[in-house]
Structure 1
C-alpha cells in the first residue's frame, strides 16, 4: 500500500481532491469526463493523496452520477493516487452491490481504493424515489445496519449468513487479498458519533456545511472506539478552493460556482455551469449579497501564498489529518471543452505553495 504522498504530504497536512465532475455550458458529458481525467492526472503528478468523486443525480451541472464507474476510469488514468467515493450514498444502493463493485476495484488496483459512505439522497425527491424504488424512508432508517453490512462484506473473508439451522458464505469477490478503506462522510453530529462508535475514519463536508466542523471533529474524536481497521481517530475536512495568480482572478473564476450555489439555495432552476464572462454579464440581485457572503465565508479563495496560508490555518484549527479540496474555479470563453485549465492550475499552484 502506498505510504505518505511525496511532496505535499511531507510538508503540510496531506492534500486530497474531491471532484463533482462539473459540466460547463460549453461542454458535453464526454467533455466533462475528459476534463476530470486530465485533472486527476494533475492531482497524481503533484503528489495529492486521494482523488474522490461525488454522487449526484439528475443535476444539469454535475456528471458524477456513478462513483464506482468513475473510480475505475480515474484509477486507470493515474498511477499512484488513491481513488474513492465522496461518497456513495448508501441508502440509494444495496450494500452487496456496492461491496461487489469496490472489491473488484480493489483487486484491480490494490491499496488504492477508498469507499466514502454517506446517507444523503444526492438528488431531488423524484429521482431519489426512483433510485430507492419507493423505499426512501426505510433506506435511511437502516443506514447504520447497512454500513455494518458493507463493512463486513468488503473484508476479504466476507460474511457467514445464517440460513435456517446452517450458515451461507457470502463473498463480494471470490479470493480477495486486500480490502478497500471505508470512510464515513457527514455534516452533522449523527455521522460524527456513528463514525466514532464504529471506529471508522471520518470526513466532514466543510465545503457545504461551512460551520460546525470543529465541533463535529471533536465529537468524533471524543467518541472514537478503536476498531480492527483503525487504532486511532482519522479525519478529513473538505473545502471549496479557488487559486489563481491573483486573488481578483481567483474570485472571477469562482463566480460561476458561487452563482450555481446561489440558485440551488434559492430553489431556482439549475443549468450547466456558466462561463466566467456570462456570469459577469448577468449580476445577481442585491438581495443575494448577504447569502453569498455567508455561503463563501468558509471557501479558500486567493493567490497561491494566501490560499496555502488559509489551508494551513484551517487544518491547524480543525486538527484534521488531511484537507480535501474541491476545485471550484470555472472557465473563460475559448477554453478547450475537454479541459479545465483553471481547476488544474488551482491544484498545481496550491501544491507548489504548500511545499
Structure 2
C-alpha cells in the first residue's frame, strides 16, 4: 500500500500567505526525500485557513522544487473552469515535468456561493449549470489532453483543437469524490477514484464497492484503482498528537455550526476555547475519522484502514497546527508527521 500526501496549504493565525507557501514547499521537499509517492494540492477559494487557490500554480512550484514524486491536484474543481483552460494548464505542466503530473478532478465548488458566482462570471449556461455539465466537461478535458488533440466537425470542415502544440505524454487523470454519484461516474469513465474520507466517512465502503462493481476498463485505467484520503497527525506521544490536532478540530467544529471562518489557530489558543455541545460532537466525529497517535499507532491505524477498504493508496492530509513561537515559515508538526511515519514504515 502506497502512501502519498494531500496538502491544502493551511494558513495558521501566525502566518501570512508567503509563510504558508514557504511551509508547503518545505514539506514537499521533505516528502520527496522520504519516498512518498505523490504530493497533491487542493483548490479552495475565499477561505482564511487555506492558501491553495490555484492548483496549477502550486503544482508548478512544487514540481520545480522536487525531483522524484508525482505532483498533482486534489483537486481541480472543474465547475469553476473551462475544460480547455484546465487541459492547457496540465498539458504544459506535463511537458515541463514528463511522467510526474497528476490531474485530480472534482465537482464540488470549493468556495462559498459568492466566490463561486464570481469565478464563473460571464460563462453563461456553463456557469449556471456547471454541475449538470460536469460529466461532459470531464470527458472534454480527457479528450483534450490526448496527444492527438480533438477533431471538431464544423460547417465548413474539421477543426483540430489541441491543449498544447505537440504533446508526447499526458497527465494521469483521477476522479475525486465523496459520494455514490462520484463513484459511479469514475467507474463509467474508467478512471482511478479517490474518495474523500477525510471529509465524509459515512459512505466510504459503499462508494468504493459501487466503483469497483461498475468499473469499465478504459485507456486511462485497465482495472479499478481506489485511493483514500485521511487526516493525520503523528507525534512522539499520543498526548502531543492530540494537542496538535486540536486547532483543526476547532476549525471544523466552527465551520459546521455556521461561525465565520478564520485561520488555523495555534495549540495554546485552541486550548483556551470551550466548544459548545454541538461543536464537541462535530469535533469528536472528526477525531474518530482521523489517524492520530505515535508512529506505531498511526501506522497500525493506516494499515487497518487500507485493509478494511482494500485501497491501493492512502493520501495523508497532515493537519497538525503549531505551538506559540514556531517559525511562521515552517510547519514542524506537519513535517514530523511525515518523518515519523516514514521511519516507522521502514522498520
Bin the TM-score by the shorter chain.
Answer: over 0.9
Corresponding residue number in structure 1 for 2:110: 122
Equivalent residue for 2:213, pick from 208, 212, 222: 222
Is this contact kept in 1: 2:254–2:279, CA < 8 A?
Answer: no
Matched, 1:172 2:145: no
Q: In structure 2, what is the Cα distance between the partners aligned to 1:278 and 1:229?
A: 47
Q: In structure 2, what is the Cα distance between the partners aligned to 1:108 and 1:225?
A: 31
Once the two structures are superposed, the pairs formed by residues 9-24 of structure 1 within 5 Å of their partners are 13-24=1-12
Q: In structure 1, what is the Cα distance between the partners aligned to 2:211 and 2:61?
A: 33
Equivalent residue for 2:67, pick from 60, 79, 82: 79
Residue 286 of structure 1, CA deviation: 3.7
Residue 288 of structure 1, CA deviation: 2.3
Equivalent residue for 1:199, pick from 175, 181, 190: 190
Deviation string, structure 1 residues 313-349 (Cα, Å, up to 9, x no partner)? 0001000000000001000011111010110000011
Residue 297 of structure 1, CA deviation: 1.4
Matched, 1:26 2:40: no
- 3-state DSSP of counterpart to 1:242: strand
Is this contact kept in 1: 2:4–2:36, CA < 8 A?
Answer: yes
Matched, 1:293 2:281: no
Q: In structure 2, what is the Cα distance between the partners aligned to 1:36 and 1:53?
A: 10
Deviation string, structure 1 residues 148-203 (Cα, Å, up to 9, x no partner)? 00000111111001111411011100111000000000001111011101111000
When structure 1 is superposed on structure 2, of 345-354 and 82-91 the one drifting more is 345-354
Once the two structures are superposed, the pairs formed by residues 269-288 of structure 1 within 5 Å of their partners are 269-288=260-279
Once the two structures are superposed, the pairs formed by residues 1-355 of structure 1 within 5 Å of their partners are 13-133=1-121, 136-355=127-346
TM-score for both structures, normalised by structure 1 = 0.95
TM-score for both structures, normalised by structure 2 = 0.97
Is this contact kept in 1: 2:234–2:341, CA < 8 A?
Answer: yes
Is this contact kept in 2: 1:18–1:326, CA < 8 A?
Answer: yes
Question: Once superposed, what is the RMSD of the aligned Cα atoms?
Answer: 1.0
Aligned residues: 343
Residue 132 of structure 1, CA deviation: 1.1
Residue 69 of structure 1, CA deviation: 0.4
Q: In structure 1, what is the Cα distance between the partners aligned to 2:238 and 2:24?
A: 24
- 3-state DSSP of counterpart to 1:269: coil
- 3-state DSSP of counterpart to 2:5: strand
Is this contact kept in 2: 1:210–1:297, CA < 8 A?
Answer: no
Residue 112 of structure 1, CA deviation: 0.3
Unaligned regions of 5+ residues in structure 2, if any? none
